[in-house]
Amino acid sequence: MLSNTRTIHNKRVLEKTATNSFMWTDPKFNKPTALLRLLNADSVPDLSPYYGKRTIASRRRVVGLLQAINRATAMLDSAVEIEPDRNYWTDAPKDLREALEEIDDILAEYPMRPTVEISGKYGDGGLHFDHANGSSRPLGEQLAVWDITTLAQKKMLERVRECMCGEWFFARRKDKTACSAICRHKTYEQSERFKVQRRQYMRNYYKLKQSGKVR
């Protein structure tokens, strides 16, 4: 189990805690904080001295990876539904192979390698083996990619969603579509169900008003 993630080029260390064998950067709230921190750069405090500057290009790369994995996942699910007995390990459809190659090309920019160090100030912890990030990308971007691949492995990546207000959030429930109660209500107000109910309410109100029962 990884206990920290280091960068080869500057030896900075970021402590990461595991929750139920799932690597999260925010175990207290059980959400992929590194990913959300990067995606919501406009609303989250800037920690650039440590994580590196959060640029538009950085966010574009991370969103591109997220979307590419979601596309490939949807393609595989659709293919399996149509051909459940096909051997996808050795005989994946051409479009699915191309989708995987696209993801591989993106991930190739975030290499990692095993590392070793002495654990504990006085060496009482023995040798500690870990993984180091070797990418030239900002540390915050690398950790965001780590969150994406961890979520994808757990089949939970689709729970990282963009709210109508532009804020990205992690949906704890599958049916959650908004980042807050305010946005949830605004989303509901735009639904066809709400519009139908609103029209019916206004018709009833108009009839009552015409009858003089209400002012």
pLDDT at 19 over 60: no
As a whole-number percent, the residues of the chain with pLDDT over 90 amount to 40
Q: What is the pTM assigned to this prediction?
A: 0.70
Beta-strand pair 127-133/4-7: parallel
Q: Considering only the C-alpha atoms of the chain, give the largest distance between any 2 of them, rounded to a whole number of Å.
A: 87
Please report the pLDDT score of residue 148 as a whole number. Answer: 95
Q: With 60 as the cut, is the pLDDT of residue 12 above it?
A: no
Domain positions in the chain are: 4-166, 180-215
143-174 pLDDT, tens per residue? 899 999 999 999 999 999 999 898 999 998 88
Residue 134: how many CA atoms within 13 Å on its side-chain side? 9
- Give the DSSP letter string of 143-178: HHHHHHHHHHHTT-GGGEEE-TTS-EEE-SSTT---
The answer to whether residue 17 scores a pLDDT higher than 60 is no
